Structures are given as structure tokens and as C-alpha cells.
Amino acid sequence: MYPSPTPSKGGQVLLKPIRVGVCGTDKEIIEGRYGKAPEGSQYLVLGHEAVAEVVELGDGVDNVGVGDIVVPTVRRPLNCDLPVDFCPVGHYLEHGIWGLHGHAAEYSVTDAKYLVRVPKETIDVAVLTEPLSVVEKGIDMAMRIGQARFDWKPRTALVLGAGPWVYWPRWSLD
């Protein structure tokens, strides 16, 4: 049984997940091809894509309040001064993937400074914030590389795939 977590250090919040996404990364973890449990834990709680309600504040939290609907970002830097998504492998932890439990449980804990508040009306789609951010970062990086190398002003783009492949059953229209 997964024990109920509590905000154990300043700056943390207790979350009650509302929606949790499942993607190809979760499939790889379940297959044992990737992932790492937190130090001292025998298991890893999945759930890196989530929308949650803030239910308890730890000491010093002032950027969110109880009842706020939030999307927790996935990565947490370790000894890295770069923007967290550009830290090299081994210099970050990831909720539900690498070294931190995810949000696919009754409650989860995270650092408040890595929460993005979202309107309550967006609960059903806000779980897609993380995969959308991956696509956005890819487009941003392509634009930066293109502009740094030559005078590049694309007007259209084709985006193929937003992450690892995952099997989804085909639905018949018959």
C-alpha cells in the first residue's frame, strides 16, 4: 500500500490528482526499459502528466492556495544552472519517471515553485499541458537553431509525433 504523503519540507504542497495522463514513457517504465524509484523506495508511482487540486500548503508557500487547480511540471534540477529542461541526464529528477514519485495516487507531494495554475474550466484538457510543452519546446529549439544558422523565417510547419509510440486500439466506425 502506498502511504499518504505529507509536505515534509518548506515550499512543498499536498496535491489531490484529478486527471493523470498515460503515454509511451509510462509503457517503457512498465516494461522495465526505463525509470527509477526514489531513493529508499521499492517502487515508483507513475503519473508525470497530471492536473491536481492543492489540498495542503507547506511552510513558506505563497504562489498557490488551497483549492487551486494546478499542473505540476515534470522535472526538478539537481546541480544544474541551465533551464531545467536543458539539464544533462543525471542532473535532474522527474516525477513519475526518474527518482520522484508521480501523481497517479490518491495524494502526491511536490515543490510549489514548479506548479502552473490553470482555470477550473480546463481540467479535462489541462492534463495535456506536459505533452504540449514538449512539442512547444521542440518548435522553439528548431526556430532558435534555424535563426542562429541563417536567415530563416518559416511560415508553415508539419509536426509528426509528439513523443514515444504507444499502442492505442483502433475504433471501428462500422
Cα–Cα dist 35/31, whole Å: 10
Domain-embedded: residue 20:
yes
Domain-embedded: residue 134:
no
Cα–Cα dist 123/37, whole Å: 28
How many Cα atoms occupy the beta-carbon half-sphere of 46 within 13 Å? Answer: 15
**Domain range spanning residue 45?**
12-127
Cα–Cα dist 133/131, whole Å: 5
Question: Is residue 95 predicted with pLDDT exceeding 70?
Answer: yes
Confidence of residue 137 (pLDDT cuts 50, 70, 90): confident
Helix (H, G, I), strand (E, B) or coil at 129: helix
Sign (positive or negative) of CA dihedral 81, 83, 88, 93: positive
- CATH number, domain of 90, equals 3.90.180.10
Which residue has better confidence, 87 or 170?
87
Q: Which one-letter amino acid corresponds to residue 116? A: V
The pLDDT score that the predictor gives to residue 90 is 87
Question: Is residue 109 predicted with pLDDT exceeding 60?
Answer: yes
Domain-embedded: residue 76:
yes
Domain-embedded: residue 4:
no
The pLDDT score that the predictor gives to residue 87 is 84
Percent of the chain with pLDDT over 70: 88
* Arithmetic mean of pLDDT, 22-40: 92
The pLDDT score that the predictor gives to residue 53 is 97
Question: Is residue 165 predicted with pLDDT exceeding 50?
Answer: no
Quote the number of domains for the chain.
1
Confidence of residue 44 (pLDDT cuts 50, 70, 90): very high
Domain-embedded: residue 75:
yes
Domain-embedded: residue 166:
no
Confidence of residue 162 (pLDDT cuts 50, 70, 90): low
Question: Is residue 170 predicted with pLDDT exceeding 60?
Answer: no
* Arithmetic mean of pLDDT, 59-82: 93
Give me the phi and psi of 132, to 5 degrees please: -65, -40
* Arithmetic mean of pLDDT, 122-136: 82
Q: What is the CA radius of gyration of the chain?
A: 18
Domain-embedded: residue 57:
yes
Domain-embedded: residue 1:
no
Cα–Cα dist 58/2, whole Å: 21
* Arithmetic mean of pLDDT, 69-89: 87
Q: Which one-letter amino acid corresponds to residue 58? A: G
Cα–Cα dist 23/173, whole Å: 24
